[in-house]
Structure 1
Amino acid sequence: MSADVDVRAWLRSRGTETIQHPGGTLYAHLCRVEERLADLGHGADLRSAGLTHAAYGTDGFGLALLDWSDRATLRNLVGHAAEALVYLYGACDRRSSWQGLAATGEVTDRFTGRVVRLDADQLTPYVDLSVVNELDVIEQDPSLLDRHGDYFRGLFRSWAPVVSPPLVERLRRVLDR
């Protein structure tokens, strides 16, 4: 059994196929994020993080599949690098972190209150995961772009210097409609 199959089985065992999410279920969303990261040419760690990015819940999606203090469970499934990115993604206090992220590289941890400074090797994968996630949600529910388009356009423009090159064109296509 491959590691990806194990992760997908774990996600299903956590009920993700029954949790509603734009575009169907949380499971479908997680799979789409992983597939889109693969289409962009990202490696296994970022793809695994994409597949499990909601494990600890997020600032925008409060349902957690696993308590954030039980990091070893997810680390055993996806590896240290992927789990560290999932934790960062789930722990991010978006209100205090996202607007200045490209300039500061700082993420406020909503679980602990600590501020973490990302280096260049961490910042682009984090931003790419965030962008791909938000684009999937927007593509599944275009009314979100109608309601929050100015916010996302401004945010993603501010992140442009740290977004991976393959993602820049995708951002333009979705946000400039």
Structure 2
Amino acid sequence: MTDADRVRAWLRDRGAESIPHAGGSLYEHLGRVHERLRGHALGEDEQLAGLTHAAYGTDGFPVVLLDVTARQELRDLIGPAAEALVYRYGGCDRDRTWRALPQTQTVWSRFTGHAESPTPAEVRAFADLSIVNELDVYERSDEIAAKAGDYFRSVFPTWAPLASPSVMEDCRRTLTIG
């Protein structure tokens, strides 16, 4: 059994298959994000973080599969680097972080109210996961595409220096950015 298979079983045990999400269930969404990150040849930690990125809920999706006080459980499942990305992603206060990210490379936490300055590699992983997640939602929900498409088109191009080139190309193609 692969690490991804073990994580998928954990997600099913947590009920992710029955949680509605754009394009079907949360389980399906998490799987698509994982596969898209893999398609960009990103590392195993990023891929496993993609598969569990909503474990603690997110600024845009309040459903929690695992309370943040139980972080060790997710660390044991996906490893410390992947869990740290899930925690950063899930805890991100998007209003305070996203637009300023290229200038500050600071991520504000909605969990703690504090800011952190991740390493350049951690910022890249955060940007890649954030973009790939939103591209999946954008493609599967006309409502979200209409509501957030212009916002994504205004923010994500500014992340080009931070994100992986293949993720940015996917972003430009999906959001039809010139």
Question: What is the TM-score of this pair, normalised by structure 2?
Answer: 0.96
The C-alpha deviation readout for 1:127-147, integer Å capped at 9, x for no partner, is: 000000000000011332222
CA distance in 2, matches of 1:73, 1:143: 35
Q: Which amino acid aligns with 1:147?
A: K
2:135 maps to which residue? 135
Structure 1: gaps (5+ residues): none
Out of 140-149 and 128-137, give the one that drifted further: 140-149
Q: Which amino acid aligns with 1:68?
A: V
CA distance in 1, matches of 2:15, 2:115: 32
Q: Root-mean-square deviation (CA), in Å?
A: 1.1
1:89 maps to which residue? 89
- 1:160 CA drift (Å): 1.5
CA distance in 2, matches of 1:175, 1:11: 29
CA distance in 1, matches of 2:119, 2:148: 29
The answer as to 2:113 corresponding to 1:113 is: yes
Structure 2: gaps (5+ residues): none
1:68 maps to which residue? 68
1:15 maps to which residue? 15
Paired positions, count: 177
CA distance in 1, matches of 2:35, 2:2: 16
**Identity, % of aligned pairs?**
51
CA distance in 2, matches of 1:143, 1:112: 31
CA distance in 1, matches of 2:160, 2:43: 21
Aligned to 1:111, the other structure's residue is in SS state: coil
Contact kept, 8 Å, 2:138 with 2:149, in 1: the verdict is: no
Question: What is the TM-score of this pair, normalised by structure 1?
Answer: 0.97
The C-alpha deviation readout for 1:24-71, integer Å capped at 9, x for no partner, is: 000000000000000000011000000000000000000110001110
CA distance in 2, matches of 1:17, 1:103: 38
Q: Where in structure 2 are the equivalents of 1:150-169 lying within 5 Å?
A: 150-169=150-169
1:26 maps to which residue? 26
- 1:3 CA drift (Å): 2.0
